[in-house]
Amino acid sequence: MHSRGYSLHNDQTRYTEKRRKVYAFLRIPIEVERFLFYGLLQCIDAFCYLFTFLPIRFLMSVMGFLLRLRPWTSAETCDFFKVWIIVFGTILMQHIDTSVVYHQVRGQGVIKLYIFYNMLEVADKLFSSLGQDILDALFWTANEPKTIRTIVRTVFHFVFALSYATIHTFLVLLQATTLNVAFNSHNQALLAIMMSNNFVELKGSVFKKFAKANLFQMACR
């Protein structure tokens, strides 16, 4: 009987590998959902840490330093700058009238909003990749041996990190406002265009070959 090109007994290893790939493909949706749920828990943990444990650590560090109970550590220096970046960033963001921003965004046309949203998305990715390096540079500079030059550089890095945090926060606010306008608009064309843009990005990723490390980075995004 003609085997139509299949030599099952002679190519057992090759076909076993193909079957494994099929099973792995079927498990992808479940594994991705588990990974996303784990990422959500990580984000919630990081968010809660900023408003619960970080202020407590900051207060305990300041009290311990003032009462001379223990020496000041490099980790406490990082917490010190994190707290003040949050405080000053919050104060600066309070001067922004969100209702004015909403009406300014709402008054734009559909095409303008679509282009504006894509520009915000690109800027958000750029700021996200750059932000951790800015904060790491601040923390490293602040923990160097204290000299006049180091203090000046620390102040410069702190102002730069504060500016980054404020601008990035404002970009996220604009993104949320644009999405809010799209959801509340009577014309659903903008929302449809934004959703189709995600499918275009997905299409570009499907037909590319990625290494395992690159797949992990793409999933984290």
Q: Are 93 and 169 in contact (CB under 8 A)?
A: yes
Domain ranges of the chain: 1-70, 73-220
> In whole angstroms, what is the distance from residue 5 CA to residue 16 CA?
17
Q: Are 173 and 101 in contact (CB under 8 A)?
A: yes
Q: Are 88 and 163 in contact (CB under 8 A)?
A: no
- Which residue in 102, 114, 99, 116 sits closest to 177, CA to CA? 102
Q: With 0.85 as the threshold, say if the pTM is over it.
A: no
pLDDT per residue of the chain (221 residues) written in tens, 0 to 9? 555 555 556 677 777 888 888 988 888 889 889 988 998 999 999 999 988 999 998 898 888 888 887 788 888 888 899 999 999 999 998 888 888 888 888 887 777 777 888 888 888 888 988 888 999 999 998 888 888 888 899 999 999 999 999 999 999 999 888 888 877 777 666 667 667 666 666 666 666 777 767 777 777 66
Helix (H) or strand (E) holding 153: helix 148-184
